[in-house]
A and B are shown apart, each in its own frame.
Chain A
Amino acid sequence: MLSLLICLPVIGSALLFALPEKYVRLGALTVSGLSLLWTAWLFTQYDMTDLGFQFTEHLTWLPALGLNYTLGLDGLGLLMVGLNAFLGWIAIYTTAADVERPKLFYALMLIVSGAVAGAFLAQNFLLFFFFYEVELVPLYLLISIWGGEKRGYAATKFLLYTALSGALILAGALGMVWLGEAANFDYETLTQIDLSVSYQVLLLVPLLFGFGIKIPLIPLHTWLPDTYVESSTPVAILLGGVLAKLGTYGLLRFGFSLLSDGWQVLAPGLAVWGSITVIYGALVAIAQQDIKRMVAYSSIGHMGFILLGAAAGNTLSLSGSIAQMASHGVILAILFALVGIIEKKVGTRELSALNGLMNPIRGLPVISALLVMGGMASAGIPGLINFAAEFIVFQGSFRQFPAQTLICVIGTGLTAVYFVILLNRTCFGRLDNERAYFPKVTIGEKMPAYVLAVVIVVLGLQPGWLLRWGEPTAVRIIIPTTKVEAATEQPAIASLSPEVLLQ
């Protein structure tokens, strides 16, 4: 059942080469759409009362290596798989109709989507690592072939950083199995190992740095602005919207969940790390002159909230972090989609050259309006998707880390600052007569942004629909597997349930 989410895009990507070129886009959209529909069906079948993994699949693959083909879904995984399928379809839809070498492009996009789904579904650490590495190659090609002016540099930097990230994660995984004397890399097996706190701290270090590169956390972030900026719009949507979540997902699934005692030791430092990431991302975003780079740094800042929530480690903060992962993905996707349209129509991303796009006739008024909404959503304005997620992270983390939380609250204020700068310079002011001959934005070009905007508003008005998926996982990963039953009975955690809070 879950394998279909991996197989469908991979087989689909192969079939694209058999299609005539004019049908390739339609074919890719169909394959991606089927994955999305299948994911939607999984959402309908998911049992909220069952805190364990559902739809599990197991196949012994290489017992000598401890590598098993074990798939499963909990709330966190389901939400991430949903995000991947949704943004994968959006990214393919956003692709320009005249993209060069369309067969290869769409095939690579589908392979990335399939590999990322595999990583989110894998319940074997080595299998996770396998999928984590598999998506690297198609992404490298997507950046280096269809990227911007400095695509070669950006792609190489991305490859080196992510390869190093993979190596550190593999080191962590191997260390966990060897030191814990586990029989294999299966998640269920790893939850049973008993490691001393010092070993846990030791193993968390490579995992934190490995996943920290992917997220990215400062100072491991230097690959991100170049990569995001040089990537084409659909690839940037995948990178920012989905790929970055592999880092936070891995950290929660294999770091926090499996090495919880060590995590508690490092938690205050992680909270500081998260808050510094938030402030740094926001301040550097303020200084940017390129709107795509500004969005890229905004992404870094917002990932800090997720780390803060994870560091606090209670049900509430974790639920917020999980919701933040989804909201961050959707917001980043709409921002990259809009920035991509602006760049395509106006021919520049420079703040100094952009102005007056809100002009009702000669500007890009709808795109500007959506950009205003995206900026507001990113700044955590109530009624939009990010508000509930950020609020719950703060609510959950304030008890443990009040200072770090307050710093992050300031970070949300700074988010508003750079978005006001962006919107003020880009959308408002006088349209420059020299360059105000932009082509019209077609309804097809606007469609992805419309869809994302609807999601942002609907989940902003009804945040329970987003938060409900993360809560069971939050409970589960605090005290994994066998202790789940006991954990759900704890009144202290249950009283902090976001469902309760939002009523």
Chain B
Amino acid sequence: MSTGTALRAEQDRGRRAAQNKEKWAQGRTYISAAVILIWCLAPAYWMVVVAFREVGFTYDTSIFPTHVTLDNFITAFDTSFGNRFGQALLNSIFIGVVVTAISLLIGVFAAYALARLNFRFKFLVLGFILGASMFPGVALITPLFQLFTNIGWMGTYQALIIPNISFVLPLTVYTMTSFFREMPWELEESARVDGCTQGQAFRKVIMPLAAPAIFTTAILAFISSWNEFLIASQLSSDATQPVTVAIANFAGAQPQQIPYTAIMAAGTIVTIPLVILVLVFQRKIVAGLTAGAVK
């Protein structure tokens, strides 16, 4: 009897110890999660805080928003110091849309072939496309610089769009390839068996299934074009420069003084739509980002 209670007490203690250990592990997870959150978000938060701070208090280091103003956003679009941020925004959108459209239009066929068909040299083609996506931009810039100078394309939109395709197209192809591999293609055959024509099967079964994959790929393609800096910094003119170049060269009233608050406002404008897009389609985007590497 007494040994029984002792045993039970022992078991209780063991269970409580296990529970404590569990709780402690949970606690550590939360602390780690908090550290990750702060590490990832604090610099971005700081950008937004400074974007809303009066110019006179640029170097104010109080962590919470102080001296809040919208002036910086007006300064960001101000063209009197030679900045063309508004124009640059339009340029980036235009270049991004064209590059994305071309890459998707061409890449979707290649992705279909790579995911669905059996043919010789498949691994060679895959290797070529993956190699192309890892290609250093500087290796392209010199001949393109000379070529575009010779044919008078320097500073034109096509001079920015064509090199962008060199890294957006491979990205598009291998992201879509791995999405297409995951799709339940048997449904196409089932639809045919059920009496659909090839066209109907494609329209009613394949398109709705492929649409999210294509859309996610489009977002990834647009983001990588939107972020491009190296090629644009060399081949664009004042009239065609994208936002990345405009922000890097942002000038203030005094040449020696960097107009940080206006730059942070411009940075916020450039970033917020992307962040919203990314957060809304988070799950799909993570799948697309990691598609090439695992699976």
Q: Do A and B come from one complex?
A: no
Q: Which residues of A contact B (CB under 8 A)?
A: none
Q: Which residues of B contact A (CB under 8 A)?
A: none
